[in-house]
Homo-oligomer: A and B are copies of this chain.
């Protein structure tokens, strides 16, 4: 048993926060990698000298942020990098009107101008093919907006992946949720088939530039794509 009878040194921000820190500290100090198991709830309960309630809420919190994976019967394991928490933060900002859709698009533009250039420089052949495939599938399904949207999102995520910097992937993917909620609006403002196909053509131009390995051209096409998308949203009255 421990002898930490809560010395009056700390203002104690709650036992759960302490437990969360203890767990992340454990991951750090043990140098755990994704997939590695964490101590059981019972073990943590003993180690921290608190109730299982507290330990459970700590584990559950980390699971909500996708830092660990929980599943019944099994020990908790260290999680692979996941965009879950970031998505929720962004969504929360949007729904509580602390950030606007246009602000998100500004950030996306900044980031994707870079990912597309990096992708042109670093993409493997497989990645270039995946990007081109997404663009092709947009065209083939262009009568079905929902499907076009999903391939559009996959297109941007594939570019981020081809940048070979997971932090970019993380951020771009976190924005996908916002895209899902606003995409259709932009699509509708492109009333004619011609406009819609022109937008798809823009994606194909980007994919081509990446395949050619021309970062400047790729960035230029990406810039045009974003300018048109933002304009479409503004036309639709999205603040």
In the complex, the chain B residue whose C-beta lies closest to that of A105 is: B167
Q: Does A95 reach chain B (CB closer than 8 Å)?
A: yes
Stretch from A37-45, A59-67, A202-210 contacting the other chain: A59-67
Stretch from A79-87, A124-132, A149-157, A189-197 contacting the other chain: A79-87
Whether A96 contacts B34 by the Cβ 8 Å rule is: yes
Distance, CA A123 to CA B90, complexed state (A): 24
Whether B166 contacts A99 by the Cβ 8 Å rule is: yes
Please indicate the chain B residues that have their CB under 8 angstroms from the CB of A65 in the complex: 61, 64-65, 85, 88-89
Q: Does A2 reach chain B (CB closer than 8 Å)?
A: no
Stretch from A3-11, A24-32, A133-141 contacting the other chain: A24-32
Which of B57, B90, B168 contacts A60, CB < 8 Å? B57
Distance, CA A221 to CA B166, complexed state (A): 27
Q: Tell me how far the C-beta of A230 lies from the nearest C-beta in chain B, rounded to whole angstroms.
A: 13
Which of B32, B86, B99 contacts A86, CB < 8 Å? B86
Whether A93 contacts B166 by the Cβ 8 Å rule is: yes
Distance, CA A94 to CA B111, complexed state (A): 20
Beta-carbon contacts of A157-171 to B below 8 Å, as 1s and 0s?
A: 000000001111011
Binding site secondary structure of chain A: helix
Please indicate the chain B residues that have their CB under 8 angstroms from the CB of A144 in the complex: none
Given A60-B16, A65-B89, are A27 and B81 neighbors across the interface (CB < 8 Å)? no
With a 10 A CB-CB cut-off, give which of A34, A60, A166 has the most chain B CB atoms: A60
Please indicate the chain B residues that have their CB under 8 angstroms from the CB of A63 in the complex: 61
Q: Does A76 reach chain B (CB closer than 8 Å)?
A: no
Please indicate the chain B residues that have their CB under 8 angstroms from the CB of A114 in the complex: 110
Q: Tell me how far the C-beta of A32 lies from the nearest C-beta in chain B, rounded to whole angstroms.
A: 7
Give 3 nearest A-B pairs by CB, closest first: A61-B64, A85-B85, A110-B114
Pairs A–B under 8 Å by Cβ, sample size 27:
A24-B91, A24-B95, A27-B95, A33-B96, A33-B97, A34-B96, A53-B53, A57-B57, A57-B60, A60-B61, A61-B61, A61-B65, A64-B64, A65-B88, A65-B89, A67-B88, A67-B89, A79-B92, A81-B89, A81-B93, A82-B89, A85-B85, A86-B86, A86-B89, A99-B165, A107-B111, A110-B114
